[in-house]
Structure 1
Amino acid sequence: MRLRSALLSLILLASVASCDSRPRPDPPPASQVVAGYFTEWGVYGRGYRVKNLRDSGAADRLSHLKYAFGEVTDGRCAIGDDWAATQKPVGAPDSVDGVADSPADPLRGNFGQLRKLKAEYPKLELLWSFGGWTGSAGFTEAAKDPVAFAESCRALLNDPRWAGLFDGIDIDWEYPNACGLECDTSGRDALTRILEALRAALGPQALISAAVPGDIGKLRATDYAGAARHADWLGAMTYDYFGTGTTVAEQKTAPHSALSAYPGIPRETATAEATVTELLALGVPAEKVLLGVGFYGRGWTGVSGAGPGASATGPAPGRFGEGIEDYYVLKDRCPPTGTAGGTAYAHCGAQWWSYDTPETIAAKVAYARSRSLGGLFAWELSGDTPDSALLTAMGH
C-alpha cells in the first residue's frame, strides 16, 4: 500500500507540473532583491499590461513589483489615473487568468489584474510608488505635515476596493531639498521625517522604499542615512547621468548608465560606482542600497564618430520621446558596437545610442554583490524583451 500510494503521488505531481509548461526559473536568493517598476500608463500606447508580467516570465523572476505612480495632491497620497488603475475593462485575451472583466466586478483595470497576478504568484510583493519626475512637486507640501501625509497613504492603501493588494509604499521624490523638474527647499531631514511617519502609520511589517538620485550633489543635500533607518531599501537611480540637451556638453555622446569611469567621461562622478560609494560614505547601510538599471537607451543623431565623446546635432528619434528608446527595439535596430564604462553603446548610421545588455547587467550584478548591496531594480519593465532577457540577467 505504501508503494502504491507513493506511485500515485508521483503521478499526481507529474500531472500538476504538466498543466503549466512555462519554464519556472529558481526564485532570487532571499537576500537579493530583484525589483522592477510597472508603469500605470503602459496599458495605453505601449500596450504593456499586467498579463505581460506573467507571459514574459517577469513575475517569476521578480521579488518585488513597484506600481508607478500614485500622485501627491495637496500634500496627500492620491490615486493617479483612476481609469487605468481600477476601472478600465480588461478582455479575456489580455487578462492574467483568461477571464474578461464584467461590469459587476468591483475592481477592474490594473489593480484587478494585479490581484489576479498575486493570487498566482503569492511570493511576489507589491509596492505602490508615489511621485516620479513629473509628480514630485506635491512632496514639498507633504513635508510640512508628514503625519497627515502618512495617514492619507495608509488610508489609500487600505481602501476596501483593493485592501491587501499592496505590501507597502515607495516614495519617488525627485528631489528632496534639491532641484528636479522643480526645486525643493524642505530641508535635509524632510525625507527622513516623511519615511519615519510612514513607518509609524504602516507598521513594522510594511515595505517602505525610496528612490534616491544618482547625482552626488543631490545626494549630499539630504540626510539619506537618516532616511534609510525607516526604509527597507533606497533605490539608487544609477542611470540618466547623461543625455541630449541644449548645452554644448550635452551635444556630445556619452553613456547614460556607466558602471565605472572611462577615458574622456564628461564627469568622473557620473557612474554607478561613484553613486554607491557616496551613499555608503554618507552612512547608508550597503544592504539597504539597490542598484538601478535602465531598460532603455539614450541616443543622439548627426554623430561625428563611433565612440563616446563624438559631437552630435541633436537627439535621435524615439517612439515615445526624443533621445530615448526601449532596449527591445534598440537591440535589433541599432545593436551594440562597443562598450565603455561597463555599459554598451551602438553606432548605426547617423545615430549613437547607449544602453545596458544582458552582458553588461551581469557585470552590474557582480558589482552589486561585491559591495554587499541589497539587490537591483529596473526602470521600467516594458522596455525588456518578450522573454525578459534583461530581468533574467538581473536575477543571476
Structure 2
Amino acid sequence: MKPRHKAVAGLTTLLLPAAALVGLATPSHAAAAASTATATYAKTQDWGTGFEGKWTVKNTGTTALSSWTVEWDFPSDTKVTSAWDATVTNSADHWTAKNASYNGTLAPGASVSFGFNGSGPGAPTGCKLNGASCDGGDVPGDAAPSAPGTPSASSVTDTSAKISWTAATDDKGVKNYDVLRDGAKVATVTGTSYSDTGLTAGTDYSYTVQARDTADQTGPVSGAVKVHTTGGGTTDPGPGTGGKVKMGYFTDWGVYGRAYYPKNLETSGSAAKVTHINYAFGNVQNGQCTMGDSYADTDMAYTAANSVSGQADTWDQPLRGAFNQLRQLKAKHPGLKILWSFGGWTWSGGFGQAAQNPAAFADSCYKLVEDPRWADVFDGIDIDWEYPNACGLSCDTSGQDALKKLTTALRAKFGSNNLVTAAITADASSGGKIEKNDYAGASQSLDWYNVMTYDFFGAWDAKGPTAPHSPLTSYSGIPQAGFNSADAIAKLKAQGVPAGKLLLGIGFYGRGWTGVTQKEPGGTATGPAAGTYEQGIEDYKVLKTKCPANGTVAGTAYAFCGSDWWSYDTPATINSKMAWVKSQGLGGAFFWEFSGDTASGELVTAINSGLG
C-alpha cells in the first residue's frame, strides 16, 4: 500500500509579518459593535502538539454588517500557524482577523465562523469586534456555559431511550439544552433529561448535549453516550463468527481532487456490501497517534448534495467533516463497523519511536479514537506500519518483536469490545520482510491482518520487465520469487498466523509501463505509463475503458494497448480470488481503496458476491 498524502491547497491563509498590518482597513462599526454583534471563541480540537480554534461572529442587531474584524491577544507562547475563512495577521502577541471577500456581509441574526490551527497552551484575551467589546464566550464579557456532564441512558426499548445528564454552569444562568443525536439536534429542553422516541430497533445511536445561556450562547458539547436499541439484531461478520470480512479503505484526501465523499459509498451501493471500513490515515508523530487532516476529518462543511443524509452542515454543529458523514452512514447501515487507520506509506516513520514506549502510544491512540466528539463513529483501530524492522519509505531497526509490542499494548488499552487490526507486508521472498517480524506473536492481540498482496511489481522498475502487480500465484518468468499472494499467505500460516486472521488484499487500481512492444508479461519498457494523479498508476474505473484487459496471468488481468501495458483486477479475477480465499479458510478480503471503483461499485459487488 503506497498512498501519497497530498498537500491541501487553498485551505489556509498564510500569516503576514507585522509590517503587513499597515494595509488593514479601520473598523467601521466600532461604536455599535457591542450592542449589535458578538464574537465567541471555542477550542474545537487539541492534539497535544497543537490545537484548532474557531471564532464565531454573530449579528445580533437589526441592520446588516458590511464587514467584521476580530482582535485578540495571545500569551507569547501561543500562536496562530494557519487560518481559513479569514485573513489573520499579527503584531507580536496581538492578533487580527479580517473577513474574507465572500463572508464579510452579515444579515441580522446571521452568523459566520472562521478557524485556525495554533500552537501553545494559551487562551485569547482582550477580544474586540470592530473595535468594541466582543461580548462573547471565553473572552471578557458574558462567558459561554460549561459543558454538561456526559449523558447516561436508561429505559431503552426497541424505539425509545431516555437520556439524562448533570447540569452545566454559567455566570448568568443556563436557559436550556440542545440534545444531539448522531450530531444533529433533535430537541431543546429546559431540564436535564430527554426521552427520545421513534427510533429503529436494533440500531446504534450516539447522544451528546450542549447548554445555552440566557444570551443564547452555546457552550462546548458534552461527552457522548452510545445507545443500542433493543430488538432488530445486528451481526458483526468476521473471523470466528462464520462470516467473512469485506473491508475497504476510505482516504481522507479523496474529498479534495477526487471529490469522493462518504456519500459515494451509499450511492454506489458499496456501503451495504462491506462489513468494515478503514478510514485512512491518522498520523504517528513523536511516538503518538495524532490527527491526519483535521479539516477533512472533522471540520469540512458538507453541502446537502454531498451529504449522506441529504442535509447541509451548519456553522455551529459540533462535528462536521468526514467523521460526521461516516456517522450518518452508520445510521443507515447499523451493522457497519469503522476503524481509524494510522500510518501508511507516508506516515510510518513515527512507529519506531512508538515501539520504544508502547503503553504511551496505545494510550494516545485510545484517547484520540475514543474522543467523546466522535467515539461512536469508530469501532476500533488499525495500524499500517510499512515496515517494522525493515525498509519502506525509511528504514526501521526496532527489532523482531516491535510490532508485537505495539499490538499487545493496543489490545490491553482498547479491550475486547474494540477491533484491533494491522496492515502488513506480503513479501514472502527468502530473507524478505515477513521474516523480519514476529507476525505470529503479534497476531495473538489482533482480530486480523490486512495482507497487502498488491504492489509486488510496478514502474518504479522503469525498464521492466512488465509484470502483474497483484499476482495470486507464481508463474513462469516472475521477476522475483515469493512476490505473490499465495506464497505470502503460506509463509504467514507457516509462521503460525491463523488462517482466519488473514485477509487477502485487492487493489482497485492498475500499475503500468509505456514504451512496451510485447503483449505478454516480461516485456521491456521505457518508463511509467501516464496516470491521472501519478505516473504508473491508474484507477480501475479509468482503465476498464481506457485500456481493457486482454489477457490473464497468475490469477489477475493485464492489458496491452498502444505502447502501454497495465495489470489490474477485474470483477472476473476478483471472483476467482474470492473462491481462493474461501478454499484457504481465510478471514475475508479487503481492498485499497473505494474511489478506484466504478460509480456502481462493480469491484465491491464482486468481492461481496464472491465471498457470499
The answer, yes or no, to whether TM exceeds 0.5 is yes
SS at match of 1:161: coil
Contact 2:281 2:341 (C-alpha < 8 Å) held by counterparts: yes
More helix by share: 1
Q: Deviations over 1:221-274 (max 9, x none)?
A: 0000001000000110000000012565xx221000010112211123111101
Contact 1:28 1:395 (C-alpha < 8 Å) held by counterparts: no
Q: Report the CA distance between 1:213 and its aligned residue.
A: 0.3
Contact 2:462 2:526 (C-alpha < 8 Å) held by counterparts: no
- Match of residue 265, structure 1, among 478, 495, 498: 478
Q: Report the CA distance between 1:304 and its aligned residue.
A: 1.7
- Match of residue 386, structure 1, among 587, 591, 599: 599
| 1:95 aligned partner | 307
Write out aligned runs for 1:133-282 (5 A): 133-216=345-428, 217-246=432-461, 251-282=464-495
Unaligned runs of 5+ in 2: 1-234
Contact 1:259 1:342 (C-alpha < 8 Å) held by counterparts: yes
Q: Quote the Cα distance in structure 2 between the aligned partners of 1:27 and 1:308.
A: 41
SS at match of 1:284: coil
Indicate the RMSD between aligned Cα atoms, in angstroms.
1.3
| 1:361 aligned partner | 574
Write out aligned runs for 1:47-126 (5 A): 47-126=259-338
Q: Report the CA distance between 1:290 and its aligned residue.
A: 0.3
Q: Quote the Cα distance in structure 2 between the aligned partners of 1:375 and 1:160.
A: 31
Identity of aligned residues (%): 56
Contact 1:199 1:230 (C-alpha < 8 Å) held by counterparts: yes
SS at match of 2:257: coil
Report which of the two structures shows the higher radius of gyration computed on alpha carbons. 2
1:346 maps to 2:559:
yes
SS at match of 1:309: coil
Contact 1:207 1:232 (C-alpha < 8 Å) held by counterparts: yes
Contact 2:574 2:603 (C-alpha < 8 Å) held by counterparts: yes
Q: Deviations over 1:189-225 (max 9, x none)?
A: 1111101101111111110100110112101100000
Letter in 1 for 2:519: A
Unaligned runs of 5+ in 1: 1-25
| 2:256 aligned partner | 44
Letter in 2 for 1:362: N
Q: Quote the Cα distance in structure 2 between the aligned partners of 1:371 and 1:261.
A: 16
Q: Quote the Cα distance in structure 1 between the aligned partners of 2:291 and 2:368.
A: 8
Q: Deviations over 1:153-178 (max 9, x none)?
A: 11001212112210000000000000
For these two proteins, the number of residue pairs brought into alignment is 369
Q: Quote the Cα distance in structure 1 between the aligned partners of 2:407 and 2:489.
A: 21
Q: Quote the Cα distance in structure 1 between the aligned partners of 2:462 and 2:340.
A: 36
Q: Quote the Cα distance in structure 1 between the aligned partners of 2:498 and 2:306.
A: 41
- Match of residue 544, structure 2, among 331, 342, 347: 331
Contact 2:551 2:558 (C-alpha < 8 Å) held by counterparts: yes
Q: Quote the Cα distance in structure 1 between the aligned partners of 2:500 and 2:492.
A: 11
Letter in 2 for 1:80: G
Q: Deviations over 1:272-309 (max 9, x none)?
A: 10110111011000000000000000000010211100
Q: Quote the Cα distance in structure 2 between the aligned partners of 1:107 and 1:152.
A: 21
Q: Quote the Cα distance in structure 2 between the aligned partners of 1:300 and 1:362.
A: 26
Query: Structure 1 residues 46, 122: closer, same or farther in 2, change over 3 A?
Result: same
| TM-score normalised by the chain length of structure 1 | 0.91
Contact 2:287 2:354 (C-alpha < 8 Å) held by counterparts: yes
Q: Quote the Cα distance in structure 2 between the aligned partners of 1:247 and 1:333.
A: 21
Q: Deviations over 1:288-337 (max 9, x none)?
A: 00000000000000102111001110000001101000001000000001
Contact 2:284 2:351 (C-alpha < 8 Å) held by counterparts: yes
SS at match of 2:305: helix
| TM-score normalised by the chain length of structure 2 | 0.59
Contact 1:27 1:61 (C-alpha < 8 Å) held by counterparts: no
Query: Structure 1 residues 261, 254: closer, same or farther in 2, change over 3 A?
Result: same
Contact 1:33 1:64 (C-alpha < 8 Å) held by counterparts: yes
Which has the higher mean CA deviation after the structures are superposed, 259-268 or 269-278?
Answer: 259-268
Letter in 2 for 1:53: L
More strand by share: 2
Letter in 1 for 2:561: C
* Deviation >4 Å, runs of 4+: 26-30
Q: Report the CA distance between 1:356 and its aligned residue.
A: 0.2
